[in-house]
Amino acid sequence: MIAGVLLQVVLAGLAQGVVLGLVALGFSLVAGTARVLPFAHGDIVVGAAFLAVLAVAGRTPTAAPPGRLASVALLVFTLAAGAALSGLVGGLTVLSDGARQPGPESWIAGGLAAGLLLRAGLAFVLAQQAYALPDALHVDALAPGGLLRLPGGGTVPVRAVCVLAIGLAAGLATEAVLARSRFGAAVRAVADDPAGAALCGVPARRVMVAAFSLAGLLAGLAGLLATPGRAVSVGDGALLGLAAAAAAVLGGIGSPRGALAGGLLIGCLQALAGYAFGTGVADLLPLVLLVAVLAVRPPSGRGGRLTGRPMRRLPSGRSAAAAPR
């Protein structure tokens, strides 16, 4: 009996975790390539889902399964809204970089402002505390009652299994794109050395904005997978973004597979903590992990693992070539 419950909990955690992993992958990609941390990323996940629902179903959405046309529209709009929002934030961030501002305050505050404006703007239109959103993918219809029967007599929600499968497939596909394609090579080159890449004819700034957009596409997918089947509030994005940041830092900035794994781990731990101690504690867990991992293993922030080899040292007293041992 307890094993069955645990299985349910872990599976739900993994499903939540793969969503975190997708968001974390985007976070990691942006942090590695554009060398800014996307503080608005979590808000973009929730914002993309709500914008698409607003466009398709209006201001009073219900969880009722949408028609075929509405489903396609919802799917396309969510992905497009994610990519567009993130690309917009990225474009503004990368362009304003041209003014050579001295410190990181401007992009930090800019990202936070973008998230806050998105959240507050949606709250103007969507006044309820929380919403139940429709599912464009219709995964619950795949099995009667939305439950899969296991050989041993237990059941698992088909939604969790589908989310896990789609999320993993999308994450691994993104990794393959980054590792194999021409675009991926450009991304890795910019992550390693933007100036050097630009000298070789790679449009570094455009690649950075493209990395933001790809991250936004993944955020849109995460929104599609995560929002149905639960109460979603306009303000959920901030904590989601921080949990994703924890997963990205845990997995190593710039490592797509690490981000996915970090997301799965955090999702699982969060589900178990929620089962054992309640959701209040489960909410704290990623925050504690984020602070702890940053304190114990600080990321050096330059390109990260996207470059495929250890990061270059930050300018300090000794040069890389002369370091002994």
Partner 1 sequence: MTAVGLAQSLWLLLAALGLALPVRYAGIPLLGQGAFVAVGGYAVVLLGPGGTGLPLGVAAGLAVSLAAAAGYLTALATARLDGGYLALATWALAWLVQRAPTAFPDLLGGTEGFSRPAPARLVSRTLGIEVTLTDRTSLLLAAGCCLLALATLARLGRGPLGLELAGLRESAPLAASLGVPVAARRRAVLTWAAALGGLAGAGSTVLTGVISPADVSPLLSLELLAAVLIGPARWWGPVPGVALLAVLPAGPLAGAGSGGVPARGMLVGLLLLAGVVVPLVVRSARLRGWRVVLPGFLRPAQPEPPEPLEHRLEPLEPLEPRPDRLPELWPTVAARPQPALELVSASVRHSGGPVLDDVSLTLRHGEVHALIGPNGSGKSTLLEVLAGSLDAGAVRLGGVPHRARTPVHRARAGVVRTPQQPVVPAGLPPARQVALGASGNGRWSHAGLRQLLGTPLSRVQAAELRAWRAGILDALGLGRLAEADPSRLSTGERQLLQLARAVATGAPVLLFDEPAAGMTAAERAVLRDVLRLLADRGAAVAIVEHDLRLVAAVADRITVLDAGRVLASGAAATVRAEPRVRRALLGEE
Using alpha carbons, select from 208, 174, 193, 153 the residue that is nearest to residue 25: 174
Binding test (CB under 8 A) with partner 1, winner from 5, 6, 117, 200: 117
SS3 (DSSP) at 51: helix
Report d(CA 51, CA 138) in Å as an integer: 19
Residue 310 touching partner 1 (CB under 8 A): no
Q: Which amino acid is at 185?
A: A
**Which is closer to partner 1, CB of 138 or CB of 302?**
302
| Buried/exposed code over 162-193 (b: 16+ C-beta within 10 A; e: otherwise) | bbbebbbebbeebbeebeeeeebebbbbbbbb
Dump the DSSP string for 237-283. Answer: HHHHHHHHHHHHHHH-TT-HHHHHHHHHHHHHHHHHHHHHH-HHHHH
Site for partner 1 in 10-49 (CB under 8 A): 31, 36-37, 39
Residue 196 touching partner 1 (CB under 8 A): no
DSSP state of 98: G
Task: Specify the DSSP element, H or E, that contains 99.
Answer: none
Q: Which span sits near partner 1 by CB under 8 A: 149-157, 163-171, 190-198, 272-280?
A: 272-280
Residue 245 touching partner 1 (CB under 8 A): yes
Site for partner 1 in 216-235 (CB under 8 A): 233-235
- Give the max Cα distance, the chain: 66
Phi, psi of 227 (to 5 degrees): -75, -35
Closest approach, Cβ 52 to partner 1, in A, equals 20
Binding test (CB under 8 A) with partner 1, winner from 151, 201, 310, 315: 315
**Which is closer to partner 1, CB of 111 or CB of 157?**
111
* Residues in contact with partner 1, shown as a per-residue x/- string from 119 to 148 under the rule CB under 8 A: xxx-xx--xxxx------------------
Give the residues lining the site for partner 1 (CB under 8 A).
31, 36-37, 39, 96, 98-110, 112-114, 116-117, 119-121, 123-124, 127-130, 233-236, 238-239, 242, 245-246, 249, 277-278, 280-281, 283-284, 287-288, 290-291, 294-295, 298-301, 314-319, 321-324
